[in-house]
Amino acid sequence: MAYVNNIRMFVRVYELGSMSAAARDQRTSPAVASSRIAELEKHLGVRLFNRTTRALQPTENGKVFYDGARNVLAAIAEAEADIIDAHKNPRGTVFVAAPLGVGRRFIAPFVPAFKDEYPQIDVRLRLSDRLVDVTSEGLDVAFHMGPLADSTLKMRVIADCTRILCAAPAYIAEHGNPADGEALKDHACLNLRYPGAQEFQWALQMPDGVKRYDVTGPFESDDGDVLTSWALEGHGIILKPVFEVAEHLRSGALVPVAVNSPPLPTQLVCLYPPHKLKDTKVQLFVDFITSRCKAEMMRQTGDL
């Protein structure tokens, strides 16, 4: 088991590029992480990383060993799953990532109920609007909104999501209500921006087809809920999935704008590596959460 732990630590150090980051990921100390790598290097008789005061880089031997090490860990996980009566006694940890708005509204509220039903399965939920890398970050499941690059990940579509342009009445009273996308150049548009973001334009449905607009505004954030707060305060226009602003649309705190050029709809999907199809705890989590997420989304947006 110690050798397997050493391999697991090596893989995380390689993927995260940091001994301390890998230690946090494996819930141990940097000293233990360093010791495990040293033991592995001694066993193999080669150096796996070149270490300097500023960087940690894999050696050529480290690069070769990484691919085999990942296969070993995958084989061990599959073998363990095969011998565990997972349907009767599922256990382990599911590592999950989700966008902030989706996670707060439709995933986090159901995690305690999932834990009640499967008490030996723990959930580690990370919320961020940045683009995550499922493989390199060691995730079992990632919820995602928007277009996807080509990927080997398996995908389950949860819901088609209508999007809307909206602003506070105070903003409209001061600046007017743009008729369509062509008028947005004269308005303050609040953008979601983060490292790795793929959508830096607003894709709107015009009478002659879809057009993409480079919009600008005084503020940007990598947190979608921050943008909503700014819009509520009258600072500009936001492009949002309807479910994220449904309560504000009902109350009148936000109102639709540029209604002649609605945004393209998007999809909420669930992503997971192909080998996770055999991992019962991941299957159970995905089935449990996605069904409730879809139902709750429909409930919140049904009258809009």
Task: Answer whether 222's CB lies under 8 Å from 130's CB.
Answer: yes
Task: Answer whether 62's CB lies under 8 Å from 14's CB.
Answer: yes
How many residues are listed for the chain in this entry?
304
Task: Answer whether 300's CB lies under 8 Å from 126's CB.
Answer: no
Residue ranges of the alpha helices (H) in the chain? Answer: 2-16, 19-25, 30-44, 60-83, 100-102, 111-117, 169-175, 224-232, 242-251, 280-301
pLDDT in tens, the chain (304 residues): 688 888 899 999 998 888 888 889 888 998 998 999 899 889 999 999 988 777 788 999 989 999 888 888 888 888 777 766 656 678 889 999 998 888 998 999 999 999 999 999 999 999 987 778 888 888 999 998 877 765 788 888 888 889 999 999 999 999 999 989 889 988 999 988 766 555 567 889 988 889 988 888 888 888 888 999 999 999 999 999 998 999 999 999 999 999 999 999 988 999 888 877 778 889 899 999 988 988 888 887 777 6
